[in-house]
Structure 1
Amino acid sequence: MKVTQVEFEVSAVKPAQYPDEVLPEIALAGRSNVGKSSLINCLIERKNLARTSSKPGKTQTINFYRINNQMFFADVPGYGFARVSKSIRAAWGKMMEAYFTERKSLKAVIQVVDLRHPPTADDQSMYQFLKYHQLPVVVVATKADKIPKGKWQKYLKVTKETLQIQPKDHLILFSAQTRQGKEELWHLIEEKLELKSPQ
């Protein structure tokens, strides 16, 4: 995908605030501080459109980005951060469940995990939730540049087995620093959305 136009569309906390225009949509979900914003910025070739925060759990809305007037990225709040209150976590859970179960234009979910660490119980719950609702999932293991190349397959095996990734779901090794996996991920996104790159 050649990204020629990107716009921040809206921040939303409820369905009434979602973009009205019906475009195919990809959601990005992951634990706080897992590298999700860096992944988005790498994909859209912008340095800081998706804000990276030094305070995990700061993003509390679903942020929509319009790409090439063809699709939306929906960046959902990070999950699994212990320092926010139970009431906030509960509100996030309800917001995310409403989005994932009711958004008709949602075509697939990119679940972001950190390659350096085995997926957490929250990561496992998220994957199981998405599969329960029959949503196509692409698991992206970020921060590959932090692991020696010779150990990539070992760490990917741990990720795959811990999440119990289903055969039809893809697992992509990714690094926002080196752009490892960027083209492969865009290819899958285009495939799932049946998009064609602008000429």
Structure 2
Amino acid sequence: MSVKPFASVVVGAAALALVAGCSGGETNKGGMPVGEGSGGRTVTLGTPTPEPSTTGTPKPTAPAKTTVAPPAAQITIVPGSFASKPAVQGLVAKYPLYYQALVQRKSDIIKTSFPAFFYADTAVNIEAARQSGWVMRPPGSVVVVGTANRPDGVIRVNLCRSQRMQWWNPKTRKWVIVAPRGTAEAIDMVRTGLGWTMYRMVRPVPKGINCSAVRYPA
């Protein structure tokens, strides 16, 4: 299957566009999966650390005490009953790299790991978050809750991200909890010469993605 070129890609400029709402428009296909025990893939990401609010000449300090480093952030991707779909398999393989770019706020990860159209769709928001000081704490798990066929051979994959996803607000100097029951997300996937890959983040999030009943493994 081939995908004809798309005319344009709309890029969101605000850093908070990375945060999706809890509900949104496609009806879940195949029922609501349960994240627990669904054979998810777990990947380790860098631990997000807020930057200091001020900079200056460092002062001499006493030798630091030996401390235990915080555990690296992990994200488990659970395909559930959609694991056999090629588009979902492509998402499971690629999605961790996307979150690595979000956590580290490095759009170059997208540039070197994804086609140009996905880089154009996401890089502006990643750079905006970096420049404004927003830091992501990734969700512990992401559960696939549905798929839908779209025009031009596109497959839309609907996801729910666990409650552990938070953002560090540099103005209030607090972690912001996005949603108590997780957040919805939709990603359009296309088939390229290298297999299925992420094409664009769907904004706004379509209605009908219900995350309230999803049980997350992490």
In the superposition, the TM-score normalised over structure 2's length comes to 0.27
Q: Which has the higher contact order (CA 8 A, sep 6+)?
A: 2
TM score, norm. by length of structure 1: 0.29
Bigger helix share? 1
